[in-house]
Chains A and B, each alone.
Chain A
Amino acid sequence: MEAVLATYQSTDTSAVTTWFKACTVKSIPENGGACVKYKDKQIAIFNFVRKNVWYACQNLCPHKMEMVLSRGMIGDADGIAKVACPLHKKTFSLESGENLNGDLPAIATYPIKIEDGFVYLGFSE
């Protein structure tokens, strides 16, 4: 799984070479998340309606290497948007990917945009 983990690297919007049309806006629950597949990657997408922001990050939780983050609850800690892993409630910033309640490695976050009712994810490969 370590090898799998290494394939997830935070991507900066400026580096995006492909905008992948991932799903419709409606397929992601409001104030919750769901998972999409891109090549062999699993990406968690969150529609944070309260902040009016969309977030995308790896679905893999670096704690026990399980593909579960999209099923976690979202919220904020001191204003920072975060997701709590459903397995052991480790929380990660949806902005920087940083682990907020421990010292796990940060998760990768991806650029995301909404156009014509569709969700697009940005990748650099």
Chain B
Amino acid sequence: MQRIVVIGNGMVGYKFCEKLVGLAKPGALDITVFGEEPRPAYDRVHLSAYFENRDAGSLELAPASWYSDNGIALITNQYVSDIDKENKTVQTKSGETHTYDQLVLATGSAPFVPPIQGVEKDGVFVYRTIEDLEGMMAYAEKIKDKKSNGKAAILGGGLLGLEAGKAVMDMGLEPHVVEFAPKLMPRQLDARSSKVLQLTLESLGIHIHLSKTTNQILGNGAITGMEFGEDDKLDVDMLIISAGIRPRDELAKTCGLATGTRGGIVVNHKMQTSDPSIYAIGEVALYNQMIYGLVAPGYDMAKVAANQIMGNTDEVMANDIDMSTKLKLIGVDVASFGSPFMPADKGHSIIFENKTKRLYKRINVSHDGKTLLGGILVGDAGDYNMLHQMYLNGMALPENAEELVVGARGEGGAAFGSAMDLPDTAQICSCESVSKGDICNSLLNEESSTLKDIVSCTKATTGCGGCKPMVVDLVNETLKSMGKVVKEVICEHFQYTRAELYDIVRVKGITSYDEALDTVGKGDGCEVCKPALASIFATIYNDTANKEAVIQDSNDRFLANIQRNGSYSVVPRIPGGEITPEKLIVLGQVAKKYDLYTKITGGQRIDLFGAELNDLPAIWQELIAAGFESGHAYGKALRTVKSCVGSTWCRYGMDESVSFAIELEERYKGLRSPHKLKGGVSGCIRECAEARGKDFGVIAVEGGWNLYVCGNGGAKPKHALLLAEQIDNKTVIKYLDRFLMYYIRTAAPLMRTAAWLEKLEGGIEQLKRIVVEDSLRLGDELELQMQALVDRYECEWKQAVENDEIRKRFQHFVNTEDRDDNMVFVPMREQKMPEAWAT
């Protein structure tokens, strides 16, 4: 059996394994992978997402089980310290020796740390691993505990440096980017586009310092500043170095493989090093005298090496490697492709610049005007994918090439065709080498039928994600050309999505379920469309669940959650978790009287379990008399707004979180929605209310509240994302009204806010535009709708106990007063529980 050893389990090392097991017969190879990091390979490209979700698992390229399932021995936390080329062995730091037939070096690169005096001080970081990020976040917290106006600098104004700038901002520190060159992103941008970018970044609150040579890091033990010239200093509390990368060729050097003068392991077009049994791929490989600091060329290298090892010797690395890039994250579009700077003897440039709108576009065109050689886009990179494809595929330019930059003149004339005009060979996803043909043919041959299928079978969009809009277009256009409509309908009775049905009900003024079925549905309905329509009626007319009881989900019909043995639970609302001793006593008395199991819930309120259907009205009558209301624990509705004690008592509190939580819970109580809604309000960033684990979360900060949306715990936990910062109570409510109403109108049934946001084209940025900037001009309408719902609130349990007709619903038998004698309770810890189920 061939023994393959891979050193390095980063992005490219992982890709190599994936390609190799795809090519080899199961069990044909003995593969061992060594990784120095403590965890299996993760998505470094999206490392910054860790600041948002702190979820290392979601960055994983494959779980640890994937390796064992594919017969790969993965040894993490193990540095390989030596290679013996003659005996074909490698030695680990812990002293173990492993033999190989073929060795693959995928050791990546390390951040370059310039030899500046003082770089060893506390508070100086690099930006490459999850551990680096954890270190930075912990340090930033320490700074923020000490002062409210902490600053962090980033050394290096390249692609990664700007990403780090955004990360600093998200950590709540003031970002300063320090660049040695006179412009930002010196490898990708010309001076004018760099200036436009600088203006935009400054308007976002990122400070830019160009042409700065750092002489010294100041501070006693920990960094307090940076010194550029004698009188030129910048006070900072933290520094992130992002000054380039150095290939990790240390092993290659000690064992005598050929390396470049400026580092990197020399490889040929087969990815072989100077020793034919040793391959090098990824950021450590020096190919065509270049190190490629991008993941796509690394993936190509992985594919070539895997094929070479499996004997497919025709598969070699291309000569020209595309280094086009698009900046992600920062909130401003920046892209550059092909040759962004072009000497005048090769062609001419067409440049459009509008500094007031912070726009810059440049394309470089050959002298004959026929081919696109490269370009730069700042401010609006919407055309990047098409321009990039035109460049890659050498597609013919329109007669007036300037239309590519300024747009076509006249009615709706688009200079670009659609993605469908690309040749089949056009590479759409360069990270995973997926061509247009791969995508379209898979749909045409009916091997796949949805975007999800395409992503799972081709892996397109799973790398940098830049190709996503194009892949979506291709899938939709292809399906359309096949005469297929793509939508998720409610059920067999309504051929509409929930959002469509919502609009139809509103526009046609439909008010009952049968009317809906008769006008726009078919058949007699079911357990899926009934509650979906009940929810729609509730959010348009604020009907309570009493109006049409038989279309309510089973819990809503009886205004209580059904339990294991057919008994019910009773959960009165306790807004914000605040309760008077008098009310607590009432709860205890009621629970005692009706023999109810009593428990504090995870939602800061009290649940009384084990009530018989017949007793529900009497129980609620007593509770209502004591001032309680329904807690809607049974509904897809607002549940709780959890609070921490806040500034009224807590020594760290920045604002009154309990008061605000109560205000929010009172405002949105009774609000029905596609799925349940939970909120939280914390008095400071210690976040004791776990507000970021809720559908909406509010956290007090210096100067106002930060508003987070679309988080949840439950089956698929997700942290809420920042929607707006430092806003006052009124603005929080305004944004919440808009956000909640927009969610209610557009989400699918049983889709929580987190899943909804994942589906929302444009994600959180788009949501910000809709809610904060009011880009759809829906703001007023959404606020009015919400206010109308708030005004029409009624406690549905109060309705029920006061109405004899409704009370009749709560009878186990309609022909006798007898109780259900099949319901069996057994004792447990001084209370009771339902008898266990047999299976």
Chain A residues proximal to chain B, CB less than 8 Å: 1, 4, 22-23, 27-32, 34-37, 42, 48, 50-51, 60, 64-68, 71-79, 81-82, 84, 86-87, 89, 91
Q: State whether A78 and B514 are in contact (beta carbons under 8 Å apart), knowing that A30-B550, A36-B813 are contacts in the complex.
A: no
Expressed in whole angstroms, the Cα–Cα distance for A51 and B525 within the complex equals 11
Q: Are A35 and B514 in contact (CB under 8 A)?
A: no
Q: Which of B274-282, B553-561, B645-653 contacts A (4 or more CB under 8 A)?
A: B553-561
Q: Are A35 and B562 in contact (CB under 8 A)?
A: no
Q: State whether A84 and B527 are in contact (beta carbons under 8 Å apart), knowing that A66-B565, A67-B822, A77-B492 are contacts in the complex.
A: yes
- Sort chain B's interface into a size bin: 35 or more
Minimum distance in angstroms from A74 CB to a CB of chain B? 8
| Residue numbers in A under 8 Å from B531 (CB-CB) | 73
Q: State whether A89 and B527 are in contact (beta carbons under 8 Å apart), knowing that A4-B822, A29-B549, A78-B492 are contacts in the complex.
A: yes
Given contacts A1-B838, A27-B815, A31-B514, 18 further A-B contacts (CB under 8 A): A4-B822, A29-B550, A36-B814, A37-B815, A65-B837, A66-B822, A67-B812, A71-B557, A73-B531, A73-B553, A74-B524, A75-B493, A76-B525, A76-B526, A86-B562, A87-B554, A87-B562, A91-B527
Minimal Cβ-Cβ distance residue in B for A36: B815
Q: Are A79 and B550 in contact (CB under 8 A)?
A: no
Q: Are B814 and A23 in contact (CB under 8 A)?
A: yes
A to B CB contacts below 8 Å, 23 in the list: A23-B815, A27-B815, A28-B814, A29-B809, A32-B550, A34-B814, A35-B812, A48-B524, A60-B822, A67-B823, A71-B562, A72-B527, A72-B554, A73-B527, A73-B530, A73-B550, A73-B551, A73-B553, A74-B550, A75-B523, A84-B526, A84-B527, A86-B554
Expressed in whole angstroms, the Cα–Cα distance for A31 and B557 within the complex equals 13
B492, B514, B566: the one contacting A66 at CB < 8 Å is B566
Q: Are B813 and A37 in contact (CB under 8 A)?
A: yes
Expressed in whole angstroms, the Cα–Cα distance for A67 and B822 within the complex equals 7
Instruction: Check if B818 is an interface residue, CB within 8 A of chain A.
Output: yes
Minimal Cβ-Cβ distance residue in A for B816: A37
Instruction: Check if B820 is an interface residue, CB within 8 A of chain A.
Output: yes
Expressed in whole angstroms, the Cα–Cα distance for A86 and B634 within the complex equals 12
| Residue numbers in B under 8 Å from A82 (CB-CB) | 526
| Residue numbers in A under 8 Å from B530 (CB-CB) | 73, 75
| Residue numbers in B under 8 Å from A74 (CB-CB) | 524, 550
Expressed in whole angstroms, the Cα–Cα distance for A32 and B552 within the complex equals 10
Most buried by A among B530, B531, B813: B813
Expressed in whole angstroms, the Cα–Cα distance for A74 and B530 within the complex equals 9
**Which 6 interchain pairs have the tightest Cβ spacing?**
A86-B554, A32-B550, A75-B526, A84-B527, A76-B524, A27-B814
Minimum distance in angstroms from B821 CB to a CB of chain A? 8
B557, B558, B818: the one contacting A37 at CB < 8 Å is B818
| Residue numbers in B under 8 Å from A91 (CB-CB) | 527
Expressed in whole angstroms, the Cα–Cα distance for A65 and B525 within the complex equals 26
Q: Are B562 and A68 in contact (CB under 8 A)?
A: yes
Q: Are B820 and A42 in contact (CB under 8 A)?
A: yes
| Residue numbers in A under 8 Å from B814 (CB-CB) | 23, 27-28, 34-36
Minimum distance in angstroms from A115 CB to a CB of chain B? 16
Expressed in whole angstroms, the Cα–Cα distance for A68 and B554 within the complex equals 10
Expressed in whole angstroms, the Cα–Cα distance for A37 and B526 within the complex equals 26
Minimum distance in angstroms from B252 CB to a CB of chain A? 60
| Residue numbers in B under 8 Å from A50 (CB-CB) | 514, 517, 524-525
| Residue numbers in B under 8 Å from A60 (CB-CB) | 822
Minimal Cβ-Cβ distance residue in A for B562: A86
Q: Are B815 and A81 in contact (CB under 8 A)?
A: no
| Residue numbers in A under 8 Å from B565 (CB-CB) | 66
Expressed in whole angstroms, the Cα–Cα distance for A66 and B815 within the complex equals 20
Q: Are B527 and A75 in contact (CB under 8 A)?
A: yes
Minimal Cβ-Cβ distance residue in A for B531: A73
Expressed in whole angstroms, the Cα–Cα distance for A42 and B820 within the complex equals 9
Expressed in whole angstroms, the Cα–Cα distance for A7 and B813 within the complex equals 19
Q: Are A73 and B526 in contact (CB under 8 A)?
A: yes
